[in-house]
Amino acid sequence: MTDTTPALAPPHDDARARRNVAVLVMAQAILGSQMPMIFVIGGLAGLMIAPSPVLATLSISLIVFGSMTTAPWLSAVMQRHGRRAGFLIGSLGGALGAGVSGYGLWIDSFPMFLVGSYLTGIYMSAQGFYRFAAADTASDTFRPKAISYVMAGGLLSALIGPQLVKLTTDATVVPFVGTYAFVVLINLAGSVLFAFLDVPKPVPPKAGEATGRTRAELLRDPKIAVAIICGMVSYALMNLMMTSTPLAVVGCGFSTGNAADIVSAHVIAMFAPSFVTGHLIARFGTMKIVATGLVLLAAAGGVALTGVELFQFFWALVLLGVGWNFGFIGATAMLTQAHAPEERGRVQGMNDFLVFGCVTLASLASGLMMSFGDDVQSGWTAVNLAMLPFLALAGAALIWLALRPKDAYA
């Protein structure tokens, strides 16, 4: 069980792929539980020590920015040294980031807290590649299902993470420090799983062999361009609304526990559909599933605009989660169908750089928009109205691709 197997072609029975999917599902469940934990407490912890309430969600933005800037070089590391090396680097980043963030909170240092948040982004970037690793050894038929199953591992993380927040929030004198300490343990323990991963390293091209298209050429491929646009919009809008939710819920007079329960329902909705998303893609195609995701994201914003009772927060975040699932998994499957094996590292690193770049901007915008108006409800309204133009952009791109001759992007 080494990481140096030269063969790239998957076995016809997908035995290796199914084994890797099982490992990645467990990694998504155990290691992935840190992300809902940090997203629940990040804005609230930031509010405690930030010099201005406007900067409360800056830590979340730094996490996503760290993911964005990590993706290109981490993808290159995995292209050269294998998935296992990249995922171990991610776990190390997650442990270090949580430790530094917790220490910053303990000593009341906002800059230190932000440094830890950036390092946490290394883990977030690595987790984003789990879905691509699932596709590496899968056949064309099994590939969308493999991606979907790995994303379904997030269902357990959605159940585990917010409950751990409740148990650890007040475990130390300074609120939330115990939560960050527990995240360190999650990373150290969960990294053991990657010893069982069996994804071969790509074979470096020999002199004179094709190395694939350049980044500029890849971006001119209609299918790649539309997949990236839909992935950016799906993830960025989900993050925009989710980052604002704890602040909106608590600001409307509800408790941190209420916010944790709503985020938990949201993350369940993000990953629970993954048990069927791959089958739906196989039956109806990627474009129809992505389109459904965009419609559900619009519906989430519509429900949120109807009021600020707990049930409205709950249903808006559930629709947001399912919309993200269809939009993002569909866009990922579309991307994996549009490039050659030798282009894998280049395409995936570029995709996640652009996706998480937009998510970074969305996180920054979230904190700013929540400060609009005279009350929390005005800021929450601004957040949800801001979704409309981007949904229109992604929808137009999808329609444009659907109307093109298929041989134009085959």
The CA-based dihedral angle spanning residues 323, 326, 332, 335, taken in that order and rounded to the nearest 10 degrees: -110
pLDDT in the model for residue 410: 44
Displacement of CA 202 from its chain's centroid (Å): 24
Provide the pLDDT confidence category of residue 13 given band limits of 50, 70 and 90. low
Provide the pLDDT confidence category of residue 407 given band limits of 50, 70 and 90. low
> Per-residue pLDDT averaged across 170-196, rounded?
92
Q: Please tell me the distance from the alpha carbon of residue 363 to that of residue 275, in angstroms, as a whole number.
A: 28
> Per-residue pLDDT averaged across 218-242, rounded?
92
> Per-residue pLDDT averaged across 230-259, rounded?
88
pLDDT at 97 over 50: yes
pLDDT in the model for residue 208: 60
Provide the pLDDT confidence category of residue 4 given band limits of 50, 70 and 90. very low
pLDDT in the model for residue 209: 63
Percent of the chain with pLDDT over 90: 41
Total residues found in the chain within this entry: 410
User: Quick check: helix, strand or coil at residue 153?
Assistant: coil
C-alpha distance from residue 402 to each of 144, 235, 338, 393, 394 (Å): 20, 22, 15, 14, 12
Tell me the pLDDT tens digit for each residue of 22-42: 999 999 999 999 988 888 888
Contact between 176 and 318 (Cβ < 8 Å): no
pLDDT in the model for residue 206: 66
> Per-residue pLDDT averaged across 45-53, rounded?
85
pLDDT in the model for residue 210: 65
User: Which of 109-113, 124-128, 362-366, 383-387 has the weakest average pLDDT?
Assistant: 362-366
Could you tell me the residue ranges of all domains in the chain?
Answer: 15-201+215-408
Q: Please tell me the distance from the alpha carbon of residue 21 to that of residue 96, in angstroms, as a whole number.
A: 27
pTM: 0.75
Q: Please tell me the distance from the alpha carbon of residue 314 to that of residue 303, in angstroms, as a whole number.
A: 10
Farthest CA pair distance, the chain:
65
* Cβ atoms < 10 Å from Cβ of 27: 27
User: Quick check: helix, strand or coil at residue 27?
Assistant: helix
C-alpha distance from residue 41 to each of 46, 207, 230, 308 (Å): 8, 51, 28, 20
> Per-residue pLDDT averaged across 205-226, rounded?
79
Averaged pLDDT of the chain = 86
pLDDT at 112 over 50: yes
pLDDT at 357 over 60: yes
Displacement of CA 264 from its chain's centroid (Å): 15
Which comes out higher in pLDDT, residue 21 or 364? Answer: 21
pLDDT in the model for residue 7: 45
Tell me the pLDDT tens digit for each residue of 54-65: 787 788 888 988
> Per-residue pLDDT averaged across 344-350, rounded?
82
Q: Please tell me the distance from the alpha carbon of residue 402 to that of residue 399, in angstroms, as a whole number.
A: 5
Under CATH, which number does the domain 15-201+215-408 receive? 1.20.1250.20
Which comes out higher in pLDDT, residue 267 or 111? Answer: 111
Tell me the pLDDT tens digit for each residue of 279-316: 899 889 999 999 999 999 999 999 999 998 999 999 99
Tell me the pLDDT tens digit for each residue of 64-84: 889 889 988 998 899 888 899
C-alpha distance from residue 6 to each of 103, 202, 259 (Å): 43, 7, 48
pLDDT in the model for residue 122: 95
Q: Please tell me the distance from the alpha carbon of residue 122 to that of residue 105, in angstroms, as a whole number.
A: 20
Contact between 241 and 384 (Cβ < 8 Å): yes
Q: What is the DSSP letter of 183?
A: H
Residues with Cβ within 8 Å of 274's Cβ and at least 6 positions away in sequence, in order, are: 148, 149, 150, 151, 152, 154, 155, 325, 329
Tell me the pLDDT tens digit for each residue of 142-182: 888 888 888 888 788 878 887 888 888 888 888 899 999 99
